[in-house]
A = this chain, B = another copy of it.
Amino acid sequence: MKRNTWQREAVRGALDANDGFVSAQALHSALHSTGSPIGLATVYRALADLADTGDADSLQSPEGESLYRACSTNDHHHHLICRNCGLTVEIEADAVETWAKDVAAKNGFTAAAHVVDVFGLCAACTATAAASAK
């Protein structure tokens, strides 16, 4: 049976409070800094659960960390992520969906899943970078 614990709620809340993708470690630190005595292992478990139930989205940063984010919808979708500030925009990718399916089918592949994420610098960070580069 699935139980309701304040820890699970805390993790969900911390995720919701965040705009972009966060690492499990960062989430744990954040919770600790607000005084929560939640354990690191529990954060990992809660995140895995949320990802399983579709309440959260997970992806791998190019550096190899697992990042998580509260999902506004549980439809399948992709992300545009600022590599500097972590700002995330959910994007529609119907074109990519069908393309992925096509390509897989053409090559005899089945059970196709895909990883499609775009990393870049958001407008704000671009401006900052340009300013500091001067």
Considering the chains assembled together, what is the distance between the CA atoms of A73 and B32 in angstroms?
Answer: 48
A118 proximity list for chain B (CB < 8 A): 100, 103-104, 109, 112-115
- Within 8 Å by CB of A112, from B60, B96, B119, lies B119
Considering the chains assembled together, what is the distance between the CA atoms of A83 and B123 in angstroms?
Answer: 37
A111-B121 contact, Cβ under 8 Å, with A66-B64, A91-B103: yes
Give how many copies assemble into the complex: 2
Q: Does A116 contact B (CB under 8 A)?
A: yes
A119-B123 contact, Cβ under 8 Å, with A103-B80, A107-B80: no
Interface pair A107/B122, CB less than 8 Å apart: yes
Chain A 102-134 against B: per-residue CB contact (8 Å), 1 yes, 0 no? 011001111111111111111100100000000
Most buried by B among A66, A95, A109, A121: A109
Additional A-B contact list (13), CB under 8 Å, known A60-B62, A80-B109? A60-B64, A83-B111, A104-B120, A107-B123, A108-B126, A109-B126, A110-B121, A110-B123, A111-B126, A112-B118, A115-B118, A115-B119, A116-B116
